[in-house]
Each structure stands twice: as structure tokens, then as C-alpha cells.
Structure 1
Amino acid sequence: MLFSLTVSKGWTLRQLDIHNAFLNGHLAETVYMKQPPGYEDPMTPGHVCHLQRSLYGLKQAPRAWFKRLHDFLLSTGFQASKTDVSLLYYTARDSRVFLLVYEDDIIMMGNDAKLVTTLLQRLSTTFKIRDLGALGFFLGIETIVVDDGLLLSQRRYMTDLLGRSGMVDCKPLATPAAVTKSITPVDTPYDNPTQYWHIVGALQYLTITLPDLSYAVNRLCKFMHTSTEEHWNLVKRVLRYIKGTLDFGLQLTPSVSTAIHAYSDSDWASCPVDRKSTSGYAVYLGSNLISWLSKKQCTVTRSSTEAEYKALTDVSIEVTWVVSLLQELGLHSGQPATLWCDNLGVTYLCANPVFHARTKHVEIDYHFVRDKVASGDFLVNYVSTTDQLADIFTKPLPSPCFSALRGKLNVASLPPCA
């Protein structure tokens, strides 16, 4: 979301690294350590060290370091976000600076380049900082400048994943999941379940920049404890799709609008084992995709309308969180969020209390969404199935349809020169 705002508003974007970050943390607990080899005191070899600061390897180290950084930033005028604990922000009149922390890696962005530099200098007075300049490679994600925007790519990660799985020379495929065949947990057990766990777990991290993989990977994750030869073949199909999309990533482009609109969809009773439905949604800030989900519903639904309503509830919760974060940062446009659903029954339920008697079994979801609509926070509109962008998160699709929806999710290929 913040990357989208940075691209749209032309903010400054910087990447920082803290040298030996975990050594800066002060321990709140009493921790003793044996004298390290080569540094024993010959006069008192039986003595131990009483640690005042954290060391790498201690369970408390990440927490102690974050608390030290957190307290220092608060003392310099930053405020901690109540919506996301890894986010801190600084406000001075019309100037805003945002700081995202992941262990010792930090991203700083803001609409005032001088203020960003000043805050960096304050930070360097207490911690040894390495200013890496413009954001390039962060947590395995490469940020590439394209057409005045950014493309978030994990091509190095994908290449490494293909190498680990022995699929470097595989033949590419156009889609990650077959349309004609469903999977079941009944088959010959896979003889290397550890490999299945490692590869599928690695695929999960790829969905950060490749939302088109979400449905296929989510489906494979259901069989972590009952993986079969058939499931491993489906993993290889996903890897063959990755082979053909190494240059693809999530593109963020300048957007004039900062209004929120979202698409929700479900595939009713799609699981042949327990007949639970699959939900999917896509949330946009202006023209940029900022959040998405593919997930099997927790309960069995008794109608397609109920399944669609539960999917609408899921996206409503996500949009509520996004709105609360934007409001906290003072960046919300004030416009109600628009939710698009391809089930007329659900759109009527959101505004017509007469239907309540027929939906007592979805009462909690009903009240949550309808209260949002009644308060003017949400607008729920109907969209035809052919224009339902969340369809890609609920079921396998033919290649032409899959490619069209993938493009609308802003999954794009790198330009030839990149």
C-alpha cells in the first residue's frame, strides 16, 4: 500500500541497513553465558558472563533490538502505528515520513526529501547505519523502475527455487493449475514429504509478488500432511508455470485516484472431499493491487449465495483494516470503498432487510457487512462474472481467461532491457 502511494505521489524512497542490529538491544531479563572460547579468564575460569546486551542466537534478541529502536524513534518524534506494529510515522505540518522495519532492514519513505535526510542523520547518531540509497533488493524482492512506476520481482528467488527442485530445464506451461482435474487426498503417498513441504512453503513466499499463483499454491497447502504422488505432480506443474514467468512481477503505476475498490468471489462447494467453498478477493488502491487472498472457507455453506456472502465478509474485514490504516496515517480519501460481487442475491442482502429471515444461519456476517453499507462506509455493487477479477483466486481457469485476469491484477513482465 505504501509503495503504491510512493509511486503515485512521487515520494522519496530509501533503504537502510543497521550494522550488527541485534547487538544494540538491551536485555530486560537476567541472562548468563559461559565465557567464550579463547576469551576465558585464567584467574576465574569457572565464572560466567552476565549479559547486558543481546547477542545473535538469543531468543530475546529480535524483541530487544526492536524495543530499543522503537523507543528511540518515539523519542525523536515518531509515532507507532496501532494498525501495523512494523510501521512508524513522523508528521510535521504537511510533511510525512514512514518507516517500515523488518529486523535490521528498514525502508523509509516520505513526501519531504529534506526531512527524510534529517531523520536519517538523527538515527545515525545512535546506531551505525548503512544508507543503501534507492530501494533495490529487499527481503528477496527486487524493485525495478519501469515506466515511472515500480515492478516488484522475485526472479532470483524463482530461479533458485527451480534449481532446488531440479526443474531448471523443465518445459514451461501457460497456467499453474489444470482446469479438467480436481485433486483428492487419496492416492499413493509421496516418498519424499520433506521435499514437498519445502517446495510448497517456498511457493507461498512467491505469492507476495505473484497473486496469480495464490489459488494453486493455497490448494497444494491443504495436503501438507497427506501429500501424494498426484500432489507432487501438481507442484511440478506450478514450477513449470514459474519457468515461463521468470520475468513477471507485480507492477505499481502512478494512480490519480486513491479510492479503494475490491472484488470478492467464491466457488461454491468446490472441494470434493469436504464440500467447503473457496473464497477469493482482490483489493485495489486506485489502480494498484495491494491485497489479495485465496482461501478455503471454514464451514460448509448451504447455498451459493451464502458462500458469496462469506467471501464478501472476508473482503469487508480486509478493506476495514486498510481504511483504518489510511485514516490513522491521514491518507484516506474519505470516499466509501466499493465492493464488487457477481451474485445478485448478495448485493440485495446488503441493503434489503426483508431477506434476513431467510439467512439466519449467516446472521453474524450479515450484520457486519450490512452495518458497513448502512453507515456509508461501503458500496456493494454487482459485476458480471466475466468481469469478476477475483475469479482467478477461486478455481482453475483456461489459459486465455487466466492470462486476461493476470494482466488485470497488474502482474506484468519486465521490459527487455531490464
Structure 2
Amino acid sequence: MSDLLGRLGMIDCKPLATPAAVTKAVTLSDELFDNPTQYRRVVGALQYLTITRPDLSYAVNRLCQFMHAPTVDHWSLVKRVLRYIKGTIHYGLRLTPSSSTTIHAFSDSDWAGCPIDRKSTSGFAVYLGSNLISWLSKKQRTIARSSTEAEYKALADVSAEVTWVVSLLRELGLHSGQPATLWCDNLGATYLCANPVFHARTKHVEIDYHFVRDKVASGDFVVNYVSTADQLADILTKPLPAPRFATLRDKLNVVLHQPLA
């Protein structure tokens, strides 16, 4: 982080409380950035940083969507992320011993959140006991026709990830045998997991439907509803106000590490 700030002459920049602004939408302006190679190099470095900084995942994923033709506005968004990094340079992902080996995951989606193509952004956070072990912020490939569909696509993504985590733990002989719990803040999506009736309005999500529902029917997963206020994956799908962002960042176990003397 220090090296990245130093290369861009931002060691003494003013820090910010969040990596993405709530009020400013990402638009495609006409003025292209004069050094696209620098943009790609910096965003590429930020991608590596998200390996231990899940709080940066949404902002960096958004920047990656403009690699082909970055504009001056996009470069200003990069500098905003760097100003946030300046203020959280001693933060990192905390891993602690946990008495529990149960898997629980939070899944969320920002329906039609992109103002350019109206595609939704999926996000999930997977915990093993009290430790965050996997997370994702990613734009969905297709346009969702309803918030339920967008949420269900995100639920299918986290289902695939949890299936892989369970498989890995079984190979290591560490799986508890208990079903994983998936938390979703959309009642329509949670009902769809258990409803054997396939309605015409959900026919276009049939593959995701069968994948998730088979996992629920076999007892591998339990899908529960969680209120939006308690949805930890919210930080991975949209820009948030500073107080809400800081609260969710703490719950992702991204905390201040005191530098060694």
C-alpha cells in the first residue's frame, strides 16, 4: 500500500472514510485518460490488495470494468480509493482461533445498480466459524428482470462457492457435517429455495433455481432470511455512507493492526 501511494506521489494525500462515493454515479464521460497503461497498472495492483482487504472489493471491481477505455472521471475514482487506503493503511484481515467450524454465508445483490447497462452487482461473504474466508463482488452477466431474480443469482453464486469450500474441508477431514447456512435479505429468493412450484415469472432462472434448490432439498444448505440492516454482504454490492461502511467493515474482520515497534 505504501509503495502504491509512493509511486503516485500520494503519500501525504488527505485520507477519506470510504473508497466509493454514495452520491456520484459512474458514467462514461467523453474525455479519455491520457495514460491508460498507468490506470491498468494501478488497478491491477489494487486487485492484489483485495486478497486481504475485502472492504475494497466493490470499489476495485467497479474500476476493473473500465480497463479498456478509462476516462478522467475513472482516474479520479482510482485516486479516491487510494485516499481511502491512506487512511486505513494499517488495516488488514483478522484471522483468529474459532471454536466453531460451521459455515455460514451472506448473499446480497444491488438490483440494476449500474447506470450504464442496468446489470446488477452480486456480493457474498463466507465465514468458517468466526473467520471470513471467501468473498466476492462481481457484476452479473445478464440483466435481472426483478430484485428476486438478482438476489437469486447472487444466491446461486454463493452456493457454488460454499459447495467448493465444503468439498475442500471434507478432503482435509475438517468438515463438521452440519449444513451450511446461507443468509439472504430477499424474502422472494428465500421462498423460491423451498417452493416446489415453478412459476412462469421465474422460468428464466431455472438453472440457478434447480442448483440451489437441490442443495437445500439434500440438506447441504439452509437458506434463511436476514434483515437488510444485518446483511453483511451489503458492503460488497454498493457504495455506503461512512458510518454504515465502518460497521460492516468491522464485521468483515477488517480491523486496525497495531504496527510492530
Q: In structure 2, what is the Cα distance between the partners aligned to 1:416 and 1:200?
A: 26
> Are the structure 2 counterparts of residues 165 and 416 from structure 1 closer, same or farther at C-alpha, using a change threshold of 3 Å?
closer
Is 2:79 the counterpart of 1:236? yes
Higher helix fraction (1 or 2): 2
Counterpart of 1:261 in 2: which secondary structure?
strand
Q: In structure 2, what is the Cα distance between the partners aligned to 1:394 and 1:252?
A: 23
Q: CA deviation at 1:329?
A: 1.2
Deviation track 1:199-228 (CA, whole Å, cap 9, x = no partner) reads: 000000000111000000000000001101
Deviation track 1:304-342 (CA, whole Å, cap 9, x = no partner) reads: 000000000000000000000111111100000000000
Instruction: Kindly indicate whether the alpha-carbon contact (under 8 Å) linking 1:255 and 1:286 is maintained by their aligned counterparts in 2.
Output: yes
Counterpart of 2:194 in 1: which secondary structure?
coil
| Structure showing greater Rg | 1
Deviation track 1:266-309 (CA, whole Å, cap 9, x = no partner) reads: 00011111110000000000000000000000001100000000
Instruction: Kindly indicate whether the alpha-carbon contact (under 8 Å) linking 1:165 and 1:199 is maintained by their aligned counterparts in 2.
Output: no
- 2:37 is matched with 194
- Relative to the length of structure 2, the TM-score reads 0.98
Size of the aligned set, in residue pairs, is 261
Given candidates 257, 262, 285, the residue that maps to 2:100 is: 257
Q: Which letter maps to 1:415?
A: Q
Given candidates 34, 47, 59, the residue that maps to 1:204 is: 47
Given candidates 119, 130, 133, the residue that maps to 1:276 is: 119
Given candidates 330, 341, 349, the residue that maps to 2:173 is: 330
Q: CA deviation at 1:415?
A: 2.6
Counterpart of 1:354 in 2: which secondary structure?
coil
Q: In structure 2, what is the Cα distance between the partners aligned to 1:416 and 1:224?
A: 34
- 2:202 is matched with 359
Q: Mean alpha-carbon deviation: is it higher for 355-364 or for 329-338?
A: 355-364
- 1:401 is matched with 244
- 1:176 is matched with 19
Residue pairs, 1:71-110, within 5 angstroms: none
Counterpart of 1:274 in 2: which secondary structure?
coil
Residue pairs, 1:291-330, within 5 angstroms: 291-330=134-173
Given candidates 213, 219, 223, the residue that maps to 1:376 is: 219
Higher relative CO (Cα under 8 Å, sequence separation at least 6) belongs to: 2
Q: In structure 2, what is the Cα distance between the partners aligned to 1:370 and 1:241?
A: 40
Deviation track 1:75-111 (CA, whole Å, cap 9, x = no partner) reads: xxxxxxxxxxxxxxxxxxxxxxxxxxxxxxxxxxxxx
RMSD: 0.9
Q: In structure 2, what is the Cα distance between the partners aligned to 1:365 and 1:392?
A: 24
Q: CA deviation at 1:397?
A: 0.1
Q: In structure 2, what is the Cα distance between the partners aligned to 1:317 and 1:187?
A: 39
| Structure 1 unaligned regions, length at least 5 | 1-157
Counterpart of 2:94 in 1: which secondary structure?
strand
Instruction: Kindly indicate whether the alpha-carbon contact (under 8 Å) linking 1:349 and 1:356 is maintained by their aligned counterparts in 2.
Output: no
Q: CA deviation at 1:353?
A: 1.4
- Relative to the length of structure 1, the TM-score reads 0.62
Counterpart of 2:10 in 1: which secondary structure?
coil
Instruction: Kindly indicate whether the alpha-carbon contact (under 8 Å) linking 2:57 and 2:137 is maintained by their aligned counterparts in 1.
Output: yes
Percent of counterpart pairs with the same letter? 81
Q: In structure 2, what is the Cα distance between the partners aligned to 1:204 and 1:416?
A: 23
Q: CA deviation at 1:185?
A: 2.0
> Are the structure 2 counterparts of residues 414 and 322 from structure 1 closer, same or farther at C-alpha, using a change threshold of 3 Å?
same
Instruction: Kindly indicate whether the alpha-carbon contact (under 8 Å) linking 2:90 and 2:259 is maintained by their aligned counterparts in 1.
Output: no
Q: In structure 2, what is the Cα distance between the partners aligned to 1:224 and 1:331?
A: 40
Instruction: Kindly indicate whether the alpha-carbon contact (under 8 Å) linking 2:29 and 2:73 is maintained by their aligned counterparts in 1.
Output: no
- 1:412 is matched with 255
Higher strand fraction (1 or 2): 1
Instruction: Kindly indicate whether the alpha-carbon contact (under 8 Å) linking 2:108 and 2:123 is maintained by their aligned counterparts in 1.
Output: yes
Q: Which letter maps to 1:262?
A: A
Instruction: Kindly indicate whether the alpha-carbon contact (under 8 Å) linking 1:265 and 1:311 is maintained by their aligned counterparts in 2.
Output: yes
Counterpart of 1:325 in 2: which secondary structure?
helix
Instruction: Kindly indicate whether the alpha-carbon contact (under 8 Å) linking 1:259 and 1:335 is maintained by their aligned counterparts in 2.
Output: yes
